[in-house]
Structure 1
């Protein structure tokens, strides 16, 4: 059985599998940017997927309030919560088919308390600000980060991060937070300076859109090899802690872990 190596997330002391399981598809199938349509899986399928992920060495799961019913379903279906590193977010809400954003202190606190309840836990390992793209404004002119820092002091959160969309915002977030989440793949390298800056500061780096939401591998003859190539590119960058890859397909999950294992065997980031 393949098992994934783990890496420590910056200076947090939190060890995460180099491949994390993204869970948009277990809670929402509208307003998404994936190249193919999908049906939200039933409870049995989700439970089996989570079990398979753990057997393959994945201990890291990524969710968000904006992912529909993802948090609630994870709270109900996850076994042995203490064996998981749970990453959720705050700031973005998805309702009526559209996203809305609220970075106020009141909403941020409400979001954290709601996530704790939905996930049936008394602490959240990682909470990221789910930016609307106005990264610097969110960081400098809202109470979102300050509120998250207070929640961390109170033991509700172990580490605070920022999932942004701009280089300037990412650089600023790396100075202030425990970790950053950035988009990075062979076709999108604009945020590489954020990775390098965070690495220099010993901050954690999570990678989203390593496959451009699936578009990077559509139409390629050898999909599994294309996944390996993208993972090798990402993992070869010093400072990268983990890639978040969403799937509800057991075969794809197995292939992703195999690809990550191959990629990591030839990189030393």
Structure 2
């Protein structure tokens, strides 16, 4: 149910020893999904460096389509060579889930890119072709029959995919990875965090006026997202072992009480109908 978003693992400021400790602790706590990407700094390299000996203990998810030396972004070559590079740096013979990473709808629909994913899957280099993104592109990916999994934002303030895509995805048997499950911890800001990732979510929280009751905001948000209908796994990013341990303990408590879920549903019905997924 809970996965590790390994974006912060790739930060150059994070010491190697701390990255190693975090990744091993995740597996020791029973986390079985590690999600990374070509664009997450040192993340793929560190996953390979520290977890290659434990490769059979977790599902490995990454993303690509860009940033490959010598080829253009969003070309068959960027898919092929990107997968080959990811296999090499992560010291593995297969990638369980490979996402096209937030490309626009017209790119997502291209037959040459989809065919390259098919070839990689047929060759056993990847097990599941997937798409990570929002809104129109996400809806197309979920309905196309070309992908086995999707990754999308699911949280208290970002429910477009939860209402418009996940019901159909679940009916088709797609895996769903929920990203940003704690809404970038937007509640921690007393004033609008201008220019930060949390800004839009902060604005929406002011409008929704949710009340977590006796729960702290982190628990309120994470239990909502992790147990949202259709979600296979919710990934939380952190560079701190204590946060990781806290998140595991939170998810072990199960879904939110029914009265809190009703409050969230009513607030979304009143205020959130016109909000799209935040990209």
Q: CA deviation at 1:123?
A: 0.6
Query: How many Å separate the matches in 2 of 1:20 and 1:204?
Result: 13
Q: CA deviation at 1:165?
A: 2.1
Higher share of residues assigned strand? 1
**Aligned residues of 1:61 and 1:86 also touching (Cα < 8 A):** yes
String of CA shifts for 1:195-246, please: whole Å, max 9, x gaps.
1110111111110111223324556999972122112222343211000101
Give 5+ residue unaligned stretches, structure 2: 191-210, 259-279
1:155 is aligned, of 118, 124, 147, to: 124
Query: How many Å separate the matches in 1 of 2:187 and 2:232?
Result: 21
2:11 is aligned, of 28, 44, 47, to: 28
Higher share of residues assigned helix? 2
1:171 is aligned, of 129, 134, 139, to: 139
- Structure-to-structure mapping, 1:3-42, within 5 angstroms: 18-28=1-11, 40-42=13-15
RMSD between aligned residues = 2.6
Change (3 A) 1:107 1:223: farther
Change (3 A) 1:126 1:238: same
Does residue 103 (structure 1) correspond to residue 74 (structure 2)? The answer is: yes
Change (3 A) 1:216 1:223: farther
Larger radius of gyration: 2
**Aligned residues of 2:2 and 2:234 also touching (Cα < 8 A):** yes
String of CA shifts for 1:173-211, please: whole Å, max 9, x gaps.
113210111111111111221111101111111101112
- Structure-to-structure mapping, 1:1-269, within 5 angstroms: 18-28=1-11, 40-78=13-51, 79-93=53-67, 102-132=73-103, 134=104, 136-141=105-110, 143-166=112-135, 168-175=136-143, 176-192=146-162, 193-218=164-189, 225-264=216-255
Query: How many Å separate the matches in 2 of 1:223 and 1:74?
Result: 37
**Aligned residues of 1:104 and 1:142 also touching (Cα < 8 A):** no
**Aligned residues of 1:232 and 1:266 also touching (Cα < 8 A):** no
Aligned-partner SS, 1:262:
coil
Query: How many Å separate the matches in 2 of 1:86 and 1:259?
Result: 23
Query: How many Å separate the matches in 2 of 1:69 and 1:222?
Result: 39
Query: How many Å separate the matches in 2 of 1:94 and 1:106?
Result: 9
Q: CA deviation at 1:94?
A: 9.6
For these two proteins, the number of residue pairs brought into alignment is 232
Give 5+ residue unaligned stretches, structure 1: 1-17, 30-39, 96-100
Give the alignment's TM-score, normalised by structure 2. Answer: 0.76
Query: How many Å separate the matches in 1 of 2:154 and 2:58?
Result: 25
Q: Structure 1 residues 214-223 or 101-110, which shifts more? A: 214-223
Aligned-partner SS, 1:227:
helix
Aligned-partner SS, 2:91:
coil
Q: CA deviation at 1:56?
A: 1.0
Change (3 A) 1:113 1:94: closer
Change (3 A) 1:244 1:217: farther
Give the alignment's TM-score, normalised by structure 1. Answer: 0.79
Query: How many Å separate the matches in 1 of 2:256 and 2:155?
Result: 19
Q: Structure 1 residues 110-119 or 80-89, which shifts more? A: 80-89
Aligned-partner SS, 2:254:
helix
